[in-house]
Amino acid sequence: MNTQDTSHIRNFSIVAHIDHGKSTISDRILELTHTVEERDMASQLLDSMDIERERGITIKSNAVRVMYQADDGDTYQFNLIDTPGHVDFTYEVSRSLAACEGAVLVVDATQGVEAQTVSNANLAMNANLDIVPAINKIDLPSAHPEEVKTEIEDELAIPADDAVCVSGKTGEGIHDLLEAIVYLISPPKGDAAAPLKALILDSYFDEYRGVVATVRIFDGAIKKGDQLTMMQAGQSFLVDGVGVKRPAEVLLDELTVGEVGFVVTGLKDPAAVRVGDTLTYRDRPCDEALPGYREAKPMVYTGIFPIDNKDYENLRDALEKLRVNDPSLVWSPETSVALGFGFRVGFLGLLHMEVVKERLEREFDLDLIATSPSVDYHVYKTDGEMICVRSPQDLPDVTRIDHIEEPYLKAKIIVPPAYTGAVMQLAIEHRAMMTDMIHLSEKSVEMRFDIPLAELILDFFDQLKSRTKGYASLDYEFADYRASELVKLDILLSGDEVDALSFIVHKDKAYPLARGLCDKLKEIIPRQQFEVPIQGAIGNKIIARSTVKAVRKDVLAKCYGGDISRKRKLLEKQKEGKKRMKAVGSVEVPQEAFLAILKVDK
Amino acid sequence: MSISALYLHIPFCHAKCAYCDFDSRGLRGSALERALADYVPRLIDRIDAFGCAGALRFVDTVYIGGGTPTVLGWALADIVARVRSWCDPVEVTCEANPESFDGSLADALACAGVTRISLGVQSLDDTELVGIGRLHTSARALEALRCARDAGFDVSCDLMCGLPGQTRASWRETLQRLIAERPCHVSVYPLTLEEGTPLARRAEREPALVPSEDFQADCMEESERQLVCAGFHRYEVASYAQPGHACRHNLAYWTGRGYLGIGRSSAGMVDRACADRLAGLFPGLAGRLEAEPDAARVRFVQRDDAAERFDFECLTEREAVAEDLMLGMRLSRGVAAVDLEHATHLCGSHAVDEAVRASRDLGLARWVDEDGGARCLAPTERGWLLGNELYGIFWGLADPS
């Protein structure tokens, strides 16, 4: 095969509703093409992180090359690109899809088209991908592939004549699927002789080789020894090697036009290589960078504090270690009266925050408290100075604030027409303004909104999914900063303000939120020796109140024939439980109280 | 330290109560007879072994608990007689359940030298009794109480609060009806849901069965009001006695005196010297003592019928002292200032002062002057109800950090 000829390359990703069998189909493809022998199969080969496997979600992108000998006698190079599956990583998804010409849309033959099928199909169609529908699980007695085909045509407006019926379990139909990929997905276009133009899909850090970038080449070729420049970051490096994952790494002489593979950059700073950046020759650059690049800016900031202040240094070391493979992670030291020393950490979104916190706790054995998420506010002071505020504690006194601006997003939501009312309602509740509504087809409507980022990060996505029964897809990008009437809501426990519980909120929402938060904290904070009043306040004005009643009885009176050890063990167990709580003044506060804002009943 | 208290465990009942997670097998008829025929001779052998070793010479209280010791019937008298052949106790208590206790057994036990009956009444409301799987009615309980009283025993009754369906009114009525029968000792235990018990499983499905701590607090306060009014003295968090009728055996547990346990699941506690002397009677103890030269106190729990397997727990002198303070705070007398002073030598005066300060600041304890003039740190009303907090403060003195 002539590597300059892109007609034998197919770049695609596999998308599906959860549990419709994306992973098993990926595994069967690797098996049938002898990329991985059966005995080496561990299920979900592509998801390498523990947490990814446990949660069944993909966090990082991944690309595996598969060689397929087709019925026409030729050998084709398939690059199977796995994409992250959550709105926090919407940008990473868009870059992964930009590296593909096609997508295999997996639909369960027993379940039919479901919500994520629709939202994923929308994402793929928006990226102008060729779509190969695959109807999976046809081995099951309850499979009804013909009806599912009709659904695909009716609900997704995707022609289903070419839909392939497969069983990821038995392997039936996988061969037909591979043939369909050859015939239905366009080969990549590009010019091998032109100056290099390659998209960075992902990067990871290797202790010995520095940063390794996963790339898709649109023009030109890369080989060891090339001098390359990253057009957005501006940094140059000497290529230390190129190769592909099969899924074990295989070094090659060259990656050329249309191909997907990895480039060893030798760079020591993980943050230097950014997803979406364009690689080109240092001495013979292409005219312009690939479109769609966004700086990976943290969207949301939370305080992360060790419960035991002695763990501060350990937490910093742990963050340093995580950042090596997650360059989007940024932090700065933060001090809280209630929680002591910690860090204000920036995240791509709340799922990202949860995953990072869980990894810190699990992999580094730390007990941590995360505080209420905040965005980056621009505060204009009366003296004309503008400061960026990422933590409610840093907000200047009200008398010194002229006005506050908050980040707004342009959000694009695609839903079936039946749900536009529900989406409107949700938008109103979240201070969003509809800017446009476009009927894409009989089955889908695109709604565009301007929405404050602070509203989107809290629970907007979960609410959107639940109120549209999962049918909505969401994409967003940063718009601008706009003035808003924002206030700082403080929480007082036993009359003392707890800085780590403060929250910046729109003034119209302050009252209901304060009430909700006081009620939620009442549920979360266990009864203590003394009554604990919980108050919500703006400035000096108390706007909500609840009370944790004092515990009245806590005694194990029964003694089993002098078995004192048993009693002592109970006391020791109670003491252990207290260690997991943070003493704020005289009040023992459980970890989850500091994220109560996320659990307030709407 | 000599052994002053002896506990004998009878791990059998006619049926297990729904809340009970203590070691007992529910058996009846021939199955029970076979089990007892196997168990009782081993118990007697064990009594003799300790007797021969001279360990029972200074025993002055005996407590036969269960399970339900009265399922043994007349065999109980033989056991008591055997114990009495080795020592001359002033108090011999036998636990009894109303359904297996009557006048003739009462007479037999009295003849054998039992002095005190601890009767599992729990409640005098029949619906509540059914709810926790008791085999007797309230009428049967009162009848048993009268039999015991008529036979000349000191009678103690156990009551439980926080039972499914129990109300303030029903609790008050239980207390009043019981007081009218003039027992000389009453114990009040709040119900705890123990993991794995039928009641705990039921409560998972029916959260209303989970006893309310507030309701139990109300019940505990009501008990104190009623019982004190009827002439009882609350000498321990759960125990009320008419003057002169406090349970000497239970006091041994709370005052750091040595006690022996015989029978499966029974617990004992002795000091180092005594443990060294008796090591031959506890397989594995000699090796354990050698490995723990700092052990000042040893507690053991028998794990089988044959007394071949034991769990040992070794406490340092510091831990033993902290444990004594913790247990002392269960008593209305509390802990004497001299005992706190003694603890400072092992736990440091700063730590002891802190514990005293914390318990007083939290309103759990206060200084009182005993009749004899000794100054004691004693639990307050609040200290009774929030006992775990108070005990935790003093047990915390065991931890050097």
CB contact (8 A) between residue B189 and residue A557: yes
Residue B337: strand, helix, or coil = helix
Among A555, A572, A575, beta carbon nearest to B387: A555
- Alpha-carbon dihedral sign for residues B285, B288, B292, B295: negative
The answer to whether residue B137 scores a pLDDT higher than 70 is yes
Among A554, A565, A572, beta carbon nearest to B389: A554
Paired tokens of B51: 């007797």
- Assigned domain for B259 exists: no
CB contact (8 A) between residue A553 and residue B190: yes
The answer to whether residue A140 scores a pLDDT higher than 80 is yes
In contact, B8 and B262? CB cutoff 8 Å = yes
In contact, A245 and A239? CB cutoff 8 Å = no
- Assigned domain for B54 exists: yes
For position B376, what pLDDT does the model report?
95
Nearest CA-CA distance, residue B392 and chain A, Å: 6
The answer to whether B268 faces chain A, any CB pair under 8 Å, is yes
For position A403, what pLDDT does the model report?
96
Nearest CA-CA distance, residue A367 and chain B, Å: 20
- Where does the pLDDT of residue B350 fall: very low under 50, low under 70, confident under 90, or very high at 90 and above? very high
- Assigned domain for B261 exists: no
Q: Is there a single domain that holds both residue B120 and residue B97?
A: yes
Question: What does the pLDDT look like over B276-325, one tens digit per residue?
Answer: 999 999 999 999 999 999 999 999 999 999 999 999 999 999 999 999 99
Provide the number of structural domains found in chain B: 3
For position A602, what pLDDT does the model report?
59
Q: Is there a single domain that holds both residue B22 and residue B133?
A: yes
- Assigned domain for B132 exists: yes
Among A553, A556, A564, beta carbon nearest to B220: A553
CB contact (8 A) between residue A558 and residue B386: no
Q: Is there a single domain that holds both residue B28 and residue B162?
A: yes
- Assigned domain for B256 exists: no
The answer to whether B7 faces chain A, any CB pair under 8 Å, is yes
Among B261, B326, B387, beta carbon nearest to A561: B261
The answer to whether residue A285 scores a pLDDT higher than 50 is yes
Mean pLDDT of chain B: 95
B positions 17-46 inside 8 Å of A (CB): 22
Q: Is there a single domain that holds both residue B71 and residue B198?
A: yes
Instruction: Please report the number of interchain residue pairs, chain A to chain B, with beta-carbon separation below 8 angstroms.
Output: 90
Q: Is there a single domain that holds both residue B65 and residue B12?
A: yes
| Preceding omega of B164 cis (within 30 degrees of 0) | no
Nearest CA-CA distance, residue B386 and chain A, Å: 5
The answer to whether B189 faces chain A, any CB pair under 8 Å, is yes
Q: Is there a single domain that holds both residue B74 and residue B204?
A: yes
Q: Is there a single domain that holds both residue B91 and residue B8?
A: yes
Question: What does the pLDDT look like over B65-83, one tens digit per residue?
Answer: 989 999 999 899 999 999 9
Taking contacts as CB-CB distances below 8 angstroms, the residues of chain B near A575 are 392, 396
Longest dimension (CA), chain B: 61
CB contact (8 A) between residue A552 and residue B385: yes
Q: Is there a single domain that holds both residue B17 and residue B143?
A: yes
Residue A139: strand, helix, or coil = coil
Taking contacts as CB-CB distances below 8 angstroms, the residues of chain B near A561 are 7, 9, 63, 65, 261, 265-267
For position A2, what pLDDT does the model report?
40
Kindly identify which residue of chain A lies nearest to residue B213, measuring between CA atoms: A553
Nearest CA-CA distance, residue B62 and chain A, Å: 11
In contact, A352 and A51? CB cutoff 8 Å = no
CATH number at residue B340: 1.10.10
| Residue entry with tokens 């009804």 | A144
Compute the average pLDDT of residues A104-111: 92
Question: What does the pLDDT look like over A479-535, one tens digit per residue?
Answer: 999 999 999 999 999 999 999 999 999 999 999 999 999 999 999 999 998 999 999
- Assigned domain for B68 exists: yes
Domain carrying residue B295: 266-315
Nearest CA-CA distance, residue B379 and chain A, Å: 13
The answer to whether B235 faces chain A, any CB pair under 8 Å, is no
- Assigned domain for B260 exists: no
For position A41, what pLDDT does the model report?
54
Taking residue A208's Cβ as centre, other Cβ atoms within 10 Å add up to 5
Strands A433-439 and A486-493, by their bridges, are unpaired
Among B63, B213, B323, beta carbon nearest to A553: B213
Whole-angstrom distance, CA of residue B358 vs CA of residue B361: 5
- Assigned domain for B257 exists: no
Strand partners, A249: A245
Q: Is there a single domain that holds both residue B277 and residue B393?
A: no
Q: Is there a single domain that holds both residue B302 and residue B333?
A: no
- Lowest-pLDDT range, A117-131, B36-50, B352-366? A117-131
End-to-end CA distance of chain B: 30
Strands B154-161 and B116-122, by their bridges, are parallel
CATH number at residue B216: 3.20.20.70
CB contact (8 A) between residue B388 and residue A571: yes
Among A552, A553, A562, beta carbon nearest to B269: A562
Whole-angstrom distance, CA of residue B46 vs CA of residue A361: 52
The answer to whether A573 faces chain B, any CB pair under 8 Å, is no
Question: What does the pLDDT look like over A87-107, one tens digit per residue?
Answer: 677 777 888 889 999 999 999
Q: Is there a single domain that holds both residue B371 and residue B247?
A: no
Amino acid at A434: M
Q: Is there a single domain that holds both residue B285 and residue B339?
A: no
